[in-house]
Amino acid sequence: MYQDILMLAKRSITLTGNAVLPEPVLRREDIANSLLARNILADARQQAEQILVLEQEKAERQHQQALAQFWETANAFLGELQMQRDALQQQAMVAVEELLSVALRQLLDETTLAERARALVRNLAASQLNEAVATLSVHSDMAEPVAEWLAESRFAEHWQLKRDATLAPECLRLSDANGAFDIDWTTLCNGLAGNEPSA
């Protein structure tokens, strides 16, 4: 019967003065300093992020400025090249025109009187739209080649050939009821060469 009775014993622990901590485990100052340090780190991180964003924006602006300056310089350079190219092209065109003019003038100067007569009468005929009755006056030196051309042209039955010693040797005059039209070799050559007729 005594074996079934739970035995309870009272015990006590005696603490000495040395067993008690002299200070709290975490002091209030330490906690405050920890919170302050965390806030400082957060502010520093935020400032660093802001500085990074500003530096990126600054770098982008500098990049855009450098790019704009590059294209400005490139466009100026290309514009100068284009101006030089245009000037060279213009000089080349002038040189070609002068060369062609000299060559044409030389060819025209080498033509015979008969060739000049035929060229004059062909040019005169080209300006006439209708086969009107008219008188074709010509210097005696040019009468024969002009007569040969006229005999085979559509104006054979409409133009009457007349020798006129008062005309210059290289001049033709076509006269009809409306008046007279003169053409000479020098004027024709100037027109072919693109030059203004001499005064």
Domain spans, the chain = 64-110, 112-193
Residue 71 has pLDDT above 90, yes or no: yes
DSSP 3-state of 171: strand
Q: Of 163 and 198, which is predicted with more confidence?
A: 163
Question: 4 CB contacts (<8 Å, ≥6 apart)?
Answer: none
Q: Of 135 and 1, which is predicted with more confidence?
A: 135
Question: Which of 190, 134, 137, 194 is CA-nearest to residue 167?
Answer: 137
Termini Cα distance of the chain: 164
Q: How confident is the model at residue 82 (pLDDT cuts 50, 70, 90)?
A: very high
Pairwise CA distance, residues 46 & 86, whole Å: 59
- The pTM (predicted TM-score) of the whole model is 0.48
Query: What tokens appear for 124 in the block?
Result: 């005169």
Phi-psi category of 194—alpha, beta or left, where left has phi over 0 and alpha has psi -120 to 50? left
pLDDT, tens digit (0-9, with 9 covering 90-100), for 112-125: 888 988 988 998 88
pLDDT at 198: 47
Q: Of 168 and 20, which is predicted with more confidence?
A: 168
Question: 135 CB contacts (<8 Å, ≥6 apart)?
Answer: 159, 160, 162, 174, 175, 176
pLDDT, tens digit (0-9, with 9 covering 90-100), for 3-56: 555 556 666 666 555 555 555 566 788 788 888 888 999 999 999 999 999 999
Pairwise CA distance, residues 59 & 53, whole Å: 10
Residue 170 has pLDDT above 70, yes or no: yes
Tokens 């005309």 identify what position?
167
Q: How far is CA 190 from CA 18, 21, 49, 105, 199, in A?
A: 132, 126, 82, 9, 12
